[in-house]
Amino acid sequence: MSNLHKAEAHGVSPVLEVRDLSVSLVGDNSIGVVRCVSFAVRPGETVCVVGESGSGKSVTSFAVMGLLSPNELACSGGEILLEGENVLQAGPERLRALRASTMAMIFQEPMSALNPVETVGKQIEEVLSIHKNQSKRERRERVLAMLEAVHLPDPKRIYNSYPHQLSGGQRQRVVICIALILEPKLLIADEPTTALDVTTQKQILLLIRELQEKHNTAVLFITHDFGVVADIADRVVVMNRGEVVEVGSREQILSAPRERYTRMLISSVPSLQPEPREPNDNEIVLAVSGLSKTYDQRRFWKKEHVVHAAADIDLTLRKGEILAVVGESGSGKSTVARCIVRLQDPSAREITICGENMATVRGQALHQMRKRVQMVFQDPFRSLNPRVSVGESIIEGLINFGTPHKTACQRARDLMHLVGLPADALERFPHQFSGGQRQRICIARALAPEPDVLIADEAVSALDVSVQAQVLALLDDIRMKTSVGVLFITHDLRVAAQICDTIMVMRQGRMVEFGPAAEILTAPRQAYTQALLDAAPGRHWDFQKFGPIQ
């Protein structure tokens, strides 16, 4: 920050200046994917470009790097000035020389951003061999120093490792090495922490900040997460449908946005402060005790290796209650859900749903139990059969359980009304709906057989914040109207705070903490829960009230 103020005070010229940039589909100039976008990034400054999916934020960043896929998108107007040089005019050779040395990029998914069949050391070294005339030994030493600088343990071992042998956070550190080894003036970070767990995200954000301060790098940070914006941005560019809605300092955008769209977007971010909830003493619809699931890998020669995906999980869910199962990736939260619906068979267990044991039923009895528990999945684009009409998807379960066709259709129409979609949606096919609408359809489908328990596995994670807010409101509404018990699996504490009565925190297959949402989120007893809360980006900001949390 101090660097930034110095830069502004001395009137330092920006590292990157985008002027009236337009990007359109190849062969059709009339369709602008990005239209007349302008902003600037100065040395030492972090500019966050924030927007929902389809806003053109990633396209803009790829245009700067000259990495738009040549057969699909092309810049159709404006200029991109990198230290005063228009990169849109630069030939392929010049562009290659600028990449990594003057402008560099880190990507969303570190696993796929690295070549899986080459050691990470060689991949970092490649940058040096492209741009510098150094001996093999010098290159190797520089790479090891860089691995050290991004705080990777045992750089020599990491140097010879393949990407699949590293964790997600370590891989992203390697990608950062590749981007920053030549100390570029501009770093473009395209959602670099979206695929990472919160605690890892916090470390990566700190690392980017540390390296930025060391070399006074200008950072263009693409994100959809206002929490991250609140933590790292100096200035913010809000984009929507290919256009810049608003540009301003972090304080101005977060506390006094001028545009209605920005205001809507920011107020959609769920608050970490749980709303006060009435204690729920309805009857118990789901009781799980001692649920365990182990996977063992049997090898031909070696002895088997046992993984405890879930160990000794106890939980109870009451009518009309929303229980969040919160944890990072690999914590076993989805395993618990899958065992309860019996998509997987638990290893040791007792799962009682309205008094009947779900864990051991088989055959016809299991079939009958299926309608008591229904599930909503993460990705609404893949969880609906694209060749079956929405109506048929919804009534399929009912028909399977012997409901007459006419009654089932009537129920489907009622459900459409319940989830806020028009009844004629039943005739249409999934591809004709947006992501949020599809998730509504999935919820309607799950509710069709009037289940006692609804399991939502990361059901809002794939949705943009504004749509997410609507779907969360819908779930809350449905809970009130139908008093179904909801088991809500999520990695996002904000979402949990928004709609849950109780929270269970999981880590490495074990339950860390279980209790009322207000208690867990404001006065956690376990250090791990506290660490999760601390890592949640933007935890000091109340987005709905446009001010810091009191």
The residue among 29, 79, 95, 22 whose CA lies nearest residue 56 is 22
Nearest distance from residue 218's CB to other proteins, in Å?
A: 16
- Residues of span 179-208 touching other proteins by CB under 8 A: 179
Nearest distance from residue 171's CB to other proteins, in Å?
A: 11
- Residue closer to other proteins (CB basis): 106 or 500: 106
Q: Are strands 305-318 and 284-297 parallel, antiparallel or unpaired?
A: antiparallel
Binding other proteins by CB under 8 A: which of 12, 36, 77, 131? Answer: 131
Stretch that binds other proteins, among 83-91, 127-135, 206-214, 373-381 (CB under 8 A): 127-135
Residue 90 makes contact with other proteins by CB under 8 A: no
Q: 346: which residues sit within 8 A by CB, 6+ positions away?
A: 291, 292, 293, 310, 339, 359
Binding other proteins by CB under 8 A: which of 21, 23, 65, 285? Answer: 65
Residue 423 makes contact with other proteins by CB under 8 A: no
Residue 344 makes contact with other proteins by CB under 8 A: no
Task: Work out the widest C-alpha separation in the chain, in whole angstroms.
Answer: 78
Give φ, ψ of 163 to 5 degrees.
-55, -40
Residue 527 makes contact with other proteins by CB under 8 A: no
Q: Which residues of 414-453 are buried (b: 16+ CB within 10 A; e: fewer)?
A: ebbebbebeeebbebebeebebbbbbbbbbbbbbbbebbb
The residue among 393, 447, 458, 387 whose CA lies nearest residue 417 is 447
Residue 178 makes contact with other proteins by CB under 8 A: yes
- Residue closer to other proteins (CB basis): 187 or 254: 187
What separation in angstroms does the CA of 58 have from each of 16, 53, 173, 222? 16, 9, 21, 7
Stretch that binds other proteins, among 103-111, 347-355, 366-374, 390-398 (CB under 8 A): 103-111
Stretch that binds other proteins, among 124-132, 133-141, 284-292, 306-314 (CB under 8 A): 124-132
Nearest distance from residue 439's CB to other proteins, in Å?
A: 26
Helical H segments across 109-188, by residue range = 110-113, 120-131, 136-149, 155-159, 168-180
Nearest distance from residue 196's CB to other proteins, in Å?
A: 15
Nearest distance from residue 108's CB to other proteins, in Å?
A: 8
- Contact 285/353 with Cβ under 8 angstroms? yes
**In angstroms, how far is the first alpha carbon of the chain from the final one?**
24
Residue 175 makes contact with other proteins by CB under 8 A: yes
Binding other proteins by CB under 8 A: which of 4, 98, 444, 486? Answer: 98
Binding other proteins by CB under 8 A: which of 4, 100, 390, 518? Answer: 100
Residue 126 makes contact with other proteins by CB under 8 A: yes
Reading the block at residue 474, the tokens are 């819908």
Nearest distance from residue 265's CB to other proteins, in Å?
A: 27
Nearest distance from residue 134's CB to other proteins, in Å?
A: 15
CA angle 156, 160, 161 (to 5 degrees): 110
484 DSSP 8-state letter: -
Binding other proteins by CB under 8 A: which of 115, 249, 329, 434? Answer: 115
What separation in angstroms does the CA of 407 have from each of 6, 372, 394, 420? 71, 19, 12, 20
Residue 72 makes contact with other proteins by CB under 8 A: no
d(CA 141, CA 119): 16
- Residue closer to other proteins (CB basis): 163 or 332: 163
Residue 118 makes contact with other proteins by CB under 8 A: yes
Stretch that binds other proteins, among 105-113, 139-147, 219-227, 425-433 (CB under 8 A): 105-113
Q: Helix (H, G, I), strand (E, B), or coil: what is residue 443?
A: helix
Q: Are strands 235-240 and 243-249 parallel, antiparallel or unpaired?
A: antiparallel
Stretch that binds other proteins, among 173-181, 229-237, 464-472, 537-545 (CB under 8 A): 173-181
- Residue closer to other proteins (CB basis): 178 or 443: 178
Reading the block at residue 310, the tokens are 């879930």
Amino acid symbol at 79: E
The residue among 427, 461, 451, 452 whose CA lies nearest residue 441 is 427
Binding other proteins by CB under 8 A: which of 19, 96, 263, 428? Answer: 96
Residue 104 makes contact with other proteins by CB under 8 A: yes
d(CA 223, CA 247): 15
Binding other proteins by CB under 8 A: which of 81, 97, 144, 284? Answer: 97
- Residue closer to other proteins (CB basis): 3 or 123: 123
- Residue closer to other proteins (CB basis): 116 or 153: 116
> How buried is 209 (Cβ within 10 angstroms: 0-12 exposed, 13-18 middle, 19+ buried)?
middle
Residue 221 makes contact with other proteins by CB under 8 A: no
Nearest distance from residue 124's CB to other proteins, in Å?
A: 9
Binding other proteins by CB under 8 A: which of 83, 109, 213, 476? Answer: 109
Amino acid symbol at 506: M
Residues that bind other proteins (CB under 8 A): 65, 67, 96-101, 104-105, 107, 109, 112-118, 126-127, 130-131, 162, 164, 175, 178-179, 300-301
